Amino acid sequence: MEVSIKAALDLMRHDVPQARPSAASRIYDDLRQRILSLELPPGTNLLRADLARHYDVSVTPLRDALQKLEADGLVRIYPQSRTLVTRIDEALVHEGHFLRRALETEVVRHLAKGEASETVERARSVVALQRSLQDERGQLRLFQELDEHFHRTLFDGLGRSALHDLIRSRAGHLDRVRRLQTHSPEKIQDILRGHDAILEAISAGDEDAAMAAMRDHLFKEPDWVQEFRAMHVDYFA
């Protein structure tokens, strides 16, 4: 099942023809996912020689990828010394969440007041894939990847992919805390209900309901980060 769902996700990602990504972009995307998934946890020393061998590239594309990750706040480069995966900064977690909530509520409002049937259909396909994984406890990472793709689909449908890229570049600290969550079956169901409510409101052309559904979906208690800090002290700045 995992292979077929990944294949479907890859097809969705490539619905819109794009230029072939550069070596630096491929390295950036892969390292970013490894950092966000905590495969490379905060504090990890990224050895350039090892990375160059792993990706079978020269120094230049690797350097470019690391510089982009530093701009995202996910690594800190110490010239002539080392490159470390940054620790999670709680202030940046809240900043990323604020930005995401503000932009996504506006996106669904604009979708609801326009013709968005094709976007809703694409997003529902993503939700269907998520639902097929709801009982697969070992597939949480893939479920989360589909979650990110659901939200990107809404931005793409509005022709605002660059805004999703902006959120992505500013949400690395937020996304790492989200990866620390071990979703209960109830939480999984809540996520799926949230996605359904958002799409139903967009389909109905109800701007207020769409915005309310997105706000509810993205809601976090003010102190929500604290439990994760207590459990993973070494991960935080």
- pLDDT tens digits, 36-60: 999 999 999 999 999 999 999 998 9
Residues of the chain with CATH 1.20.120.530: 90-235
46: helix, strand or coil: coil
pLDDT at 144: 85
Q: What's the CATH number for 16-85? A: 1.10.10.10
Residue 123's nearest CA partner among 103, 109, 108 is 108
Cα separation, 125 vs 37, whole angstroms: 24
Q: How many Cβ atoms are within 10 Å of 141's Cβ, its own excluded?
A: 14
Express each pLDDT in 91-121 by its tens digit: 999 999 999 999 999 999 999 999 999 999 9
Residues of the chain with CATH 1.10.10.10: 16-85
Is residue 184 over pLDDT 90? no
pTM of the entire structure? 0.86
169: helix, strand or coil: helix
Q: What angle do CA 166, 173, 69 make, to 5 degrees?
A: 60
Topology of domain 90-235, CATH: Four Helix Bundle (Hemerythrin (Met), subunit A) (1.20.120)
172 confidence band (pLDDT: 50, 70, 90): very high
pLDDT at 89: 97
